[in-house]
Amino acid sequence: MRRSAGPPSASSPGPVRGVTLIVSDGTRSEPRAAFVEVVQSRLPGVRWTLAVATGTHGPAALDALGLPAEVLRAATVVNHDGHRDEDLVTLGATARGTPMRVHRCVVDADLVVATGCIRPHYFAGFGAGVKAIFPGLGAAAAVRTNHRWKADPAARAGIVDGNPCREDLEEAVALVRTPTFLLDGICAPNGGIRAVVAGDLVAAFRAGVAVARPWFTVRARPAPLVIASDVAPVTSSLYQAAKIAAAVAPLVAPGGKLVVVAECAEGIGPLDVVNEAILRIGVLPRLAPGVTIHLVSSLSAASVSYTLLTFAAAAERFLGHGLVLVVPRASQLLCEAAG
């Protein structure tokens, strides 16, 4: 395993009595228990708040996070709900107009430790970094204000510097005055950690991105038919599975078909959000002209008809009409079109 450390936080903490340790929710496949174990081993005798970064997803199922029961018993657990105004504090706003409203456990601590895994993200460039704090512990309405930047051409997978969404998030988190520390893994598609970066929220993250980029990058000539899939939790709902389509968009030739294979056992998700905030502004503009998206899932044809996708009973029905590009673990990849 490779390790890289960024510089320490610019604001060095005084006596540390209370620590807020942030972990991802169940929509990410991450080694949460390992993160918690290593951080707690370095800070004995402190008061722990374990915050689950749910962003706009709503409270998580704690028993699905892989955290030992003794860890949950020994900490104050914040199962974040970005719609609970009474839990949120306002720290200001960014130059782009995003209000920085965040759970009070961020400001009530002596130290905030953010954990996560660096992997491609379809509009924030890469996941992890400051995202553990905001949007992870942010107000849902404020997060959606930031997410409008996904419509910008520079808000794309693999782009960090010059990405208005990422830069807005980092500006928002810079308004936090609590000392912070980052511990991010660079994870393989199976969730195993291949490298670790630690230190300043931004500098250590950038160091991790430099390591991660060549590991995740794949190149292929665009094809008229692309069949893309992934595994849970990305395939649990269309809300998450839309990331598959965004990831492989550069690989679908003009006028082609993109077939997304995702179980969607938990359904579509909030329909308006999926259709308008994700598919219409976050996925469809990334596709070449004339590309259509077809969904193979456990959802009924009637259910899919309410979305901006087209129902398909099976991927096999598209075969036999020329070149096919198959992309497994698609949302984990940084896809680039080869010349």
For residues 208 and 253, state if they share a domain.
no
The residue out of 186, 215, 244 marking a domain boundary is 215
Query: How many residues in the chain?
Result: 339
Which of 197, 215, 233 is the endpoint of a domain? 215
Q: How confident is the model at residue 16 (pLDDT cuts 50, 70, 90)?
A: confident
Q: How many helices (H) and strands (E) does the chain have?
A: 8, 18
The amino acid present at 60, given as its one-letter code, is A
Are residues 78 and 206 both part of a single domain? yes
User: pLDDT (tens digit, 9 = 90+) per residue, 327-339?
Assistant: 999 998 999 999 7
The tokens for 104 are 């009070």
Per-residue pLDDT of 99-123, as tens digits, reads 999 999 999 999 999 999 999 999 9
Question: Which of helix, strand or coil describes residue 239?
Answer: helix
Whole-number Å distance between alpha carbons of 28 and 51:
15
In total, how many domains does the chain have? 2
By the 8 A CB rule, do 102 and 91 touch? yes
Q: Which of 13, 100, 25, 95 is nearest to 56 (CA)?
A: 25
- Residues 181 and 321 both lie in one domain: no
Cβ contact 170:94 at 8 Å:
no
Which residue among 215, 237, 252 closes a domain?
215
Q: Are 328 and 243 contained in the same domain?
A: yes
179 and 277 housed in the same domain: no
Q: Are residues 28 and 126 in the same domain?
A: yes
Q: Any residues with CB less than 8 A from the CB of 289 and at least 6 apart, and which?
A: 254, 255
CB 36 within 8 A of CB 67: yes
Can you give the pTM of this predicted structure? 0.89
Average pLDDT across the chain, whole number = 93
Q: What is the pLDDT of residue 199?
A: 97
In which domain, by residue range, is 332 found? 221-337
Q: Please check whether residues 85 and 207 belong to one and the same domain.
A: yes
pLDDT of residue 189: 67
